[in-house]
Amino acid sequence: MGNIAPLSIPHMTTKDTNIQGYFLPKGTLVIANLTSVMFDKTQWETPDTFNPGQFLDADGRFLKRNAFPPFSTGKRVSGEPAGSDGAVPILHFPAPEI
C-alpha cells in the first residue's frame, strides 16, 4: 500500500510541555511521522496489507484504536466544533438586508 501523507501538517507547541519524557519548549515545531504510526508492527497484525477488519471488534462493530489517527492528533482533532477558537465567525458575511 502506498502512503500519500507520510507526515502530518506542522504543529507548534503553545507552551512548554513534556511528551513521553521529552521536553519541548514553547514554540517548538512538531511534525508527526505518520508512516511510523500506520505501519507499526506492534500495533497492526498486517500493516502492509489493506485490512478493514482490524477496525472491527468480534461482533463487527467499529473499534476505535489509539494507534489510528486518521485526521491528525492533538488538542484539536476531527469532531471538535468548528470555530471554537473564534476564527470561523470572522469568515461569515452578514445577510443582505432587503
- For the chain, the structural domain boundaries read 7-77+88-92
User: Who has greater pLDDT, 68 or 16?
Assistant: 16
pLDDT tens column, 20-47: 899 999 999 988 888 887 888 888 888 8
The alpha-carbon radius of gyration of the chain (Å, integer) is 19
User: Who has greater pLDDT, 88 or 33?
Assistant: 33
Residue partners of 26: CB distance under 8 A and separation at least 6: 13, 14, 15, 16
What percent of the chain lies above the pLDDT cut of 70?
A: 67
pTM of the predicted model as reported, rounded to 2 decimal places:
0.52
Given a contact cutoff of 8 angstroms between Cβ atoms, the answer to whether 38 and 47 are in contact is yes
- Ramachandran category for residue 78: left, alpha or beta (phi over 0 → left; psi -120 to 50 → alpha): beta
In angstroms, the CA 32 to CA 11 distance is 9
Residue partners of 8: CB distance under 8 A and separation at least 6: 31, 32, 34, 72, 73
Q: What is the pLDDT of residue 26?
A: 94
